[in-house]
Structure 1
Amino acid sequence: MSSVAPAAPASGSGDTRIIVVVGIAHAVSHFFHLILPPLFPWLKDAFGLSYSELGMVVTVFFVISGIGQSLAGFLVDRVGPLPVMLGAILLFAISAAVLAAAPGYAGLMLGAALAGVGNASFHPVDYSILNRKVSTPRLGHAYAVHGISGNLGWALAPVFVVTIAQFAGWREAFAAASLVALAALAVVWLNREVLETPVHHGVETAAAGRGAPGGAFDFLRLPAVWLSFGFFFAYAFALGGVQTFAPEASRLLHGVPLEWVALCLTIYMLGSAGGTMVGGFLVRDAARAERIIGVCFGIAALVAVGVALLPWPGWAVPVLFGVMGVCGGIANPSRDMLIRRAAPPGATGRVYGVVYSGLDVGMSIAPPFFGLMMDMGMPALVWLGVAIAQAMLIAGAFRAGRATRVRDAAPGTA
């Protein structure tokens, strides 16, 4: 089997160019996570759909993305990350065009499915490029910029599509989103020479020397891979709760003014972006990754329990969202470093594909679970569920780190 070979690290200026271009591509992938939900009111009226039917459109996106992400890692290892990145961004552009022209529910489903296929490859692609092309001293900064760019994509999408929908219409909003993807495609194409990663045979043999047997699927035997998958599932489950029903649960629990509910999530995302920048400096020593994750998510879990059980004034709730966002952001680069340590040479794309599919699984399950808590009239359980998932993150990080150290210390590893 052919595989992507480790590439020589870039110079300082080359690192910066790679980090920026990959960050732009990653921002577009997160942008497409949130082009549909903000337009639900328009789509509901246009096609006479229920919110459950509209929610299924988003579920299709994440289910296809989760399944495809596992498979995309194999494709990245075989043909290299650049062609896959170009194809994925092109799929985003096509998906938005399909949504813009959708004649009914089936068209929305098709557009969401195409976007899910495009989204599937992004974590295997991004991290394959960063881990192979960016010099080791700058990897923490690369992970920080990568995380910040994703948060900015999430933050921009609702404002972008809703503003255009208000002044022109929902079809025009989707068409404009397609142009955003085409612009990103042009940026990646113009910088393709710094993103190109050589492909050759025989890397799996080297991977076997670090505990990953040479077969294409043998990396699945590594405990660290599945522990990391579980870590990302818990991470996405907690994030899914925060992004969907935590703001409304806070309004019911603490009388947060209605106009502040959306502000809570914005503050969370901005806090996460700022925290990620700080976390990029803290994770220069990869051995500290688990401890940083433990401290940050420990604080976040305590905040979540506090929101569920303590009587806060409404004005304080957005501040608590900000504290949680900062904590999660600081942990993000350490999270990425943890997965890098778990990936043996020659299997980076495959490992990231399987591990990051846990994000899509968690994001698919969290909304109906927390929605059920709200339907049952128990908003406090939303926050307690978020806290439990964050506590699971801490245990998962230390177990994954321990499994990686055991593998690296085994006889015959280098």
Structure 2
Amino acid sequence: MNDTLALSVTEKSTRRRSLIAGCGAHAVHDGLTDVIYVLLPIWQTQFALSYAQIGLLRGAYSGMMAVFQLMASRAAKRWGRMPMLVGGTALAGAAYLLVGQASGLAMLLLALLLGGLGASTQHPLASSMITDAYEEGGGVKQALSQYNFSGDVGKTLIPGLVGLLLTVVSWRASATLLGLIGVAAALVLWRLVPTQACESTATKKARPLSRTGSTTGLRALILTGTLDSAVRMGFLTFLPFLIQAKGAGTAGIGLALTMLFIGGAFGKLLCGYLGARIGMMKTVWLTETSTALLIVTAVYLPLTGLMVILPVLGLVLNGTSSVLYGAVPDLAGAGKREQAFALFYTGTIGGGALAPVMFGGIGDVLGVPMAVMVLAGLLLVTLPLAWVVQRDDKFEV
């Protein structure tokens, strides 16, 4: 009886520590990823960069993260989950230490490439660690919901903090502090991740799935997620410049991003429930149409009006991803859940990486407002794709 009780306590402790570690890693990595938006206008002025070069810098980080995600999962099977997750977090922190010493575009680009490489370990390893910890006792969806929400907490706190810091210290000092946060987070993860959670998912028996899956539906879902992510990342790249043109300073840009990310965090929770209630297709149509209209509105509103709508814009801008993510298991074939999630993550992050580069060139030629308008129009392509997903999805989200 005592042995059973002790085992139960141990399992609960493992689940809790895995969740805290995964959520902490997600918060730090997402914060380090999105704080780049606050620094882009400063780098443009400091190094006389074009919008295409700005897009290249932003795309370099996300591109490396997307490309090496599948490799990070395979590497974890060989060297272990914890060394890869801790090492990746430390590398992301070290990249910002290098950013603080950058003297030009080449050094900035190198640092962000290294940062993206480190960040590639977080999504596949942290989410699989939480899934493994909660799968046997139940509560996987609830745990992953907390994990997803924690990323938005990091996106809210770290860019907001740096926006305020930039009013009193230099951007180089702020980047150095970000680097120290990343290295410190790696040390905490090293102590926090339980031994039981260090095993790769390859060493655990996967539950057989009864679904036959839908290749067409999954492809449509990945393309929908890719376009949604591309618009989101493209808009986030241009938002600081849009706000700056309306008269806001560095602190105002940080505040605007914080308001947008707060709305986005609640959007993930709200749209997940909404999708379960009215269906994936109706939810996507509602969120994507609302996002397109609000993006166009943001171009014409004065600064005060833009600040007011940013939380609502963040809600619909970010909420779609939660609904799409929940449809992946329903469209995955038997035994192919991990592969389906890996492909979905790679597509969405890849779309987010390419968008700043592509639309940065459009911004150079046509200007920021017109580039933002093109982004809004691109969202309408997701509407027929969502219909294809709904048609081929034979299971509840």
In which range does the TM-score fall when normalised by the shorter chain?
0.7 to 0.9
Residue 240 of structure 1, CA deviation = 1.9
- Residue 25 of structure 1: SS of its match in structure 2? helix
Is 1:268 aligned to residue 260 of structure 2?
yes
Alpha-carbon distance between aligned partners in 2 of 1:161 and 1:47, rounded to the nearest angstrom:
20
- Residue 279 of structure 2: SS of its match in structure 1? helix
CA change 1:373–1:174 in 2 (3 A) is closer
Alpha-carbon distance between aligned partners in 2 of 1:209 and 1:299, rounded to the nearest angstrom:
31
Give 1:362's aligned residue: 351
Q: Deviations over 1:162-207 (max 9, x none)?
A: 5555544333322211211122212222222153335556969x86
CA change 1:55–1:249 in 2 (3 A) is closer
- Residue 179 of structure 1: SS of its match in structure 2? helix
Residue 301 of structure 1, CA deviation = 1.4
Residue 294 of structure 1, CA deviation = 3.1
Equivalent pair of 1:34/1:154 in contact (CA under 8 Å): yes
Give 1:291's aligned residue: 279
Is 1:121 aligned to residue 121 of structure 2?
yes
CA change 1:380–1:186 in 2 (3 A) is same
Equivalent pair of 1:275/1:326 in contact (CA under 8 Å): yes
Q: Deviations over 1:124-160 (max 9, x none)?
A: 2232223322248533332332232222222333344
Equivalent pair of 1:121/1:353 in contact (CA under 8 Å): no
Taking structure 2 as the reference length, the TM-score comes to 0.77
Equivalent pair of 1:233/1:358 in contact (CA under 8 Å): yes
CA change 1:137–1:333 in 2 (3 A) is farther
Is 1:334 aligned to residue 327 of structure 2?
no
Equivalent pair of 1:30/1:150 in contact (CA under 8 Å): yes
Q: Percent identity among equivalent residues?
A: 20
Alpha-carbon distance between aligned partners in 2 of 1:363 and 1:329, rounded to the nearest angstrom:
13
Residue 271 of structure 1, CA deviation = 1.0
Gaps of 5+ in 2: 1-7
Task: Report 1:185-334 matches (<5 A).
Answer: 185-193=186-194, 195-197=197-199, 222-245=215-238, 258=248, 263-279=255-271, 282=273, 288=276, 291-292=279-280, 294-295=282-283, 297-302=285-290, 304-305=292-293, 308=296, 314=302, 315-334=304-323
Task: Report 1:169-180 matches (<5 A).
Answer: 169-180=170-181
Residue 345 of structure 1, CA deviation = 6.5
CA change 1:342–1:90 in 2 (3 A) is farther
Amino acid at match of 2:34: L
Taking structure 1 as the reference length, the TM-score comes to 0.74
CA change 1:203–1:182 in 2 (3 A) is same
Amino acid at match of 2:314: G
Alpha-carbon distance between aligned partners in 1 of 2:102 and 2:247, rounded to the nearest angstrom:
36
Equivalent pair of 1:99/1:171 in contact (CA under 8 Å): yes
CA change 1:44–1:288 in 2 (3 A) is closer
Amino acid at match of 1:144: S
- Residue 102 of structure 2: SS of its match in structure 1? coil
Equivalent pair of 2:77/2:202 in contact (CA under 8 Å): no
Alpha-carbon distance between aligned partners in 2 of 1:51 and 1:245, rounded to the nearest angstrom:
9
- Residue 134 of structure 1: SS of its match in structure 2? helix
Q: Deviations over 1:264-320 (max 9, x none)?
A: 44322111112334456x28xxx9388156325514413533653799764444343
Which of 372, 379, 392 does residue 369 from structure 2 map onto? Answer: 379
Residue 24 of structure 1, CA deviation = 1.0
- Residue 139 of structure 2: SS of its match in structure 1? helix
Equivalent pair of 2:271/2:283 in contact (CA under 8 Å): no
Alpha-carbon distance between aligned partners in 1 of 2:49 and 2:243, rounded to the nearest angstrom:
28
Gaps of 5+ in 1: 1-7, 213-220, 409-414
Alpha-carbon distance between aligned partners in 2 of 1:289 and 1:84, rounded to the nearest angstrom:
38
CA change 1:292–1:401 in 2 (3 A) is closer
Residue 20 of structure 1, CA deviation = 2.6
Alpha-carbon distance between aligned partners in 2 of 1:11 and 1:188, rounded to the nearest angstrom:
19
- Residue 101 of structure 1: SS of its match in structure 2? coil
Equivalent pair of 1:164/1:172 in contact (CA under 8 Å): no
Alpha-carbon distance between aligned partners in 2 of 1:88 and 1:105, rounded to the nearest angstrom:
23
